[in-house]
Amino acid sequence: MFYHIKELQYNAKPDRPDPLFAKQLQEILGGQFGEISVAMQYLFQGWNVRMDGKYKDLLMDVGTEELAHIEMLATMIARLLDDAPVGDLEDAAKDPVIGAILGGMNPQHAIVSGLGAMPSDSVGNRWTADYIIASGNLLADFRANLNAESQGRLQATRLYEMTNDRGVKDMLSFLIARDRMHQNMWLAAIEDLEEHEGVVVPATFPSNQEKKEVAYDFYNFSRGDESAEGRWAHGPSMDSCSHFRYIQNPPAYGPVPTLKPAPPYTFDTNFHIPPQFC
């Protein structure tokens, strides 16, 4: 159950309208790594946890916070669209500056949403649930969450550098700081799970059913040996079960494949269709 608190989690008021930046800001609202995606991802992961406890609360807490971020961005986008001269574009466009802004504006902000935010990215692609990951395996999901926060913070910092509006920068600064916390949070949760379950997902698959002789080999498929210098090519494996081994020239473990002939009509140039079927 949710309750809506009318106050925003943080300020979302620009210094001035800017329809072009409203379009750009849509990316961190409705894009692949936007706030809608992480909110739905965390909430579905939380709803699917089949037990109470710290992990379920973690997911529900941060998922709820992301709903607040959606509200902040939607409010900011609406305010950036305030007073956009959409009623008489021809006259407005006579001003070169305004014309350039309107040329980059998302027309759907005027036509579809009535100068409001939309569940879409910066080029108009609709948000889709295909963006979210909720596998039921907490360690796998937490790693996906870390990636989502990393990509989201990256995009927010790029947007921060693309505007001089102090109000927009102030809100983005808050979101960027929260993304720092969320990256640290998921790393802590991952470490907590790895300590008890190991680093390999899933931990329950019987290791004796794996081809263990290749389970820790790093294959070099590049010209040169630079990859041999990496931590992944030598020393104890990350699951502490073995040691990495660098394979300079990876072998072929299987034979040359032989396939049964396909029906002649699928490829044989000497096969002719009888005239009555032409």
User: Which tens digit of pLDDT belongs to each residue from 24-63?
Assistant: 999 999 999 999 999 999 999 999 999 889 999 999 999 9
Q: 23 and 141 in contact (C-beta within 8 Å)?
A: no
Q: Considering the chain, what percentage of its residues have pLDDT values greater than 70?
A: 89
Q: Mean pLDDT, to the nearest integer, of 157-179?
A: 98
pLDDT at residue 88, rounded to an integer:
53
**Gap between the Cα atoms of 55 and 193, Å rounded:** 10
Per the listing, tokens 């379920």 go with 56
Q: How far is CA 39 from CA 16, 81, 88, 132, 222, in A?
A: 28, 24, 38, 9, 40
Least confident window among 47-61, 88-102, 196-210, 259-273: 88-102
3-class state of residue 219 by DSSP: strand
Place of tokens 């300020």: 11
| Residues of the chain above pLDDT 90, percent | 78
Residue 219 in this model has a pLDDT that exceeds 70 = yes
How many Cβ atoms are within 10 Å of 37's Cβ, its own excluded?
25
The helix (H) or strand (E) run that includes residue 247 is strand 245-247
What pLDDT is attached to residue 269?
A: 60
| Closest by CA position to 132, among listed 37, 54, 249 | 37
pLDDT score of 278 more than 60:
no
77-136 pLDDT, tens digit per residue, is: 999 999 776 655 555 555 554 555 556 788 889 888 889 999 999 999 999 999 999 999
pLDDT at 164 over 90: yes
Report whether the peptide linkage leading into residue 202 is cis, meaning its omega lies within 30 degrees of zero.
yes
- Residue 66: pLDDT band (50, 70, 90) is very high
**Domains of the chain, each with CATH number or no CATH:** 19-197 (1.20.1260.10), 206-270 (3.30.1530.10)
User: For residue 266, what pLDDT band results from cuts at 50, 70 and 90?
Assistant: confident
Residue 102's pLDDT is: 59
User: Residue 3: what pLDDT?
Assistant: 93
